[in-house]
Amino acid sequence: MAPPKKSKKPKRKAKDPSKLGDRSNAAHVELKAGDTEWWYTFWHKNGGSPGIAIPSDEDEAFKYFFRVSKKTFEYICSLVRQDLVSRPPSGLINIEGRLLSVEKQVAIAMRRLASGESQVSVGAAFGVGQSTVSQVTWRFIESMEERARHHLRWPDADRIEQIKTKLETAFGLPNCCGAIDATHIIMTLPAVESSDDWCDQESNYSMFLQGIVDHELRFLDIVTGWPGSMTISRLLKCSGFFKLCESGRRLNGPIKMSSEKAEIREFIVGDATYPLLPWLMTPYEGKNLSSSMIGFNAKQKAARLLAARALSQLKGGWRILHKVMWRPDKHKLPSIILVCCLLHNIIIDTGDELNADVALSNHHDAGYKEQSSQQVDSQGKAMRETLTRHLSHGDISC
């Protein structure tokens, strides 16, 4: 859980991405007539930037700048359109003195999030001022936070069964529902706010983001807003997900039985920075591990790296999270992080794809040392041993 949010206006029904049409037709789509001028002006101005390899193909160039296809961009515009037109954008004008279209507002905000460049640089690319970039980006974030929430939620029972089937097929782990990991969002804070609470073990001021992902690298649950100085174990225990699991209201689906008739409940996987719990499987540590322990570790690692890959894609795709945040509002930063996660999921949900070269080439938390939790729950230990024996014998039934 994160710090409490301010009250929001009533929700309207958001469009279902499953009704957007055949995903196979998403490769090429024109922007709506009358809404293309901003794009061609932007492309002409920024398409030949020296020292930057920008694709010459129009659709590829669009995705280079905004991370999404034109079709996905139009879907995002449809989500926020009502909010961006219902509140007249006083002062949001371009250099010709005309009000910004919804499409241009969305483009400005998404470019700011995708590039991580300064508001001044983004403004110059679009022919608007720094204050306009600031206003437009925050209006977009507020709207997305409200209108796109359905793209990040815990799956229903049918969807969980699909996820478990995919993960078992890929990694041999029965009843596995996802992978968990956490990363630091680094900040530069004003001197008056630079308290030790936000100073992490690497002497950076940072905020945590923890995510649980499925086999498609889709975020199913996130927690953010907490200082990077916390331990991973403490971050987990502050999350709503932890409280739901501990009270039996999450990861509480059908139990499977191993060939030895031992119970295997629903669980997720994480690295050694997390505690070993009945519903959270971590690797064996130490030397002189048995062959069956080594086998478990190999499959568990392959599955948990899904979360690391998702965070690398997130921070690579939305570089505002990877570059050092300059004096962010700590109360607004969780909203920025959430919206980047929503955009990450929208790309997956609409059948779009992030360009392969966008993800970070190194670890999403490079520079941070992995710290072992050393917390072992007795029921979690028994559950891990059951899984280890199962992987050695390989037979399971419901």
* Residue 181, beta-bridge partner list: 211
Cα(277)–Cα(268) distance, integer angstroms: 10
Q: Kindly tell me if the per-residue pLDDT of 32 is higher than 90.
A: no
What pLDDT does 325 receive?
81
Residues 34-44 have pLDDT tens digits of 467 899 999 98
CA 336 remoteness from chain centre? 11
Summarize the confidence of residues 223-246 as an average pLDDT.
96
Cα(352)–Cα(128) distance, integer angstroms: 29
In this structure, the number of other CB atoms found within 10 A of the CB of residue 398 comes to 8
Q: Is 116 left (phi over 0), alpha (psi -120 to 50) or beta?
A: left
Point out the least confidently predicted range of 46-55, 202-211, 309-318.
Answer: 46-55
Read off the pLDDT band of 331 (50, 70, 90): confident
Structure tokens given for 157:
């029972």
- Which residue is it, tokens 């009250």? 7
Q: Kindly tell me if the per-residue pLDDT of 30 is higher than 80.
A: no
Q: Kindly tell me if the per-residue pLDDT of 316 is higher than 60.
A: yes
Radius of gyration of the chain (CA): 22
Residues 52-97 have pLDDT tens digits of 778 889 999 999 999 999 999 999 999 999 999 876 555 555 545 5
Alpha helices by DSSP H, listed for the chain, are 37-46, 58-66, 70-86, 102-115, 119-126, 130-147, 157-171, 232-237, 240-246, 291-317, 333-349, 378-393
What pLDDT does 258 receive?
86
- Which residue is it, tokens 């119970």? 263
Give the strand pairing for 205-213 and 219-227: antiparallel
Q: Kindly tell me if the per-residue pLDDT of 358 is higher than 70.
A: yes
Read off the pLDDT band of 252 (50, 70, 90): very high
Point out the least confidently predicted range of 31-40, 48-57, 242-251, 296-305.
Answer: 31-40
Residues in the chain: 398
What pLDDT does 51 receive?
66
What pLDDT does 390 receive?
93
Point out the least confidently predicted range of 80-89, 283-292, 357-366.
Answer: 80-89
Summarize the confidence of residues 241-249 as an average pLDDT.
98
Residue 40 DSSP SS3: helix
Read off the pLDDT band of 25 (50, 70, 90): very low
Q: Kindly tell me if the per-residue pLDDT of 395 is higher than 60.
A: no
Summarize the confidence of residues 371-397 as an average pLDDT.
88
Cα(23)–Cα(125) distance, integer angstroms: 31
| Highest mean pLDDT of the ranges 4-8, 36-40, 324-328, 336-340 | 336-340
Give the DSSP letter string of 119-150.
HHHHHHHHT--HHHHHHHHHHHHHHHHHHSGG
Residue of higher predicted confidence among 59 and 370: 59
Angle at 324 between CA 147 and CA 230, to 5 degrees: 80
- Which residue is it, tokens 């030895």? 260
Point out the least confidently predicted range of 133-137, 152-156, 265-269, 324-328.
Answer: 324-328
Read off the pLDDT band of 6 (50, 70, 90): very low
Q: Could you say which DSSP state residue 36 is in?
A: -
What pLDDT does 167 receive?
98
In the chain, the largest separation of any two C-alpha atoms, in whole Å, equals 74
What pLDDT does 24 receive?
35
In this structure, the number of other CB atoms found within 10 A of the CB of residue 178 comes to 29
What pLDDT does 346 receive?
98
Give the strand pairing for 256-258 and 396-397: antiparallel
On whether the CB atoms of residues 151 and 349 are closer than 8 A, the answer is yes
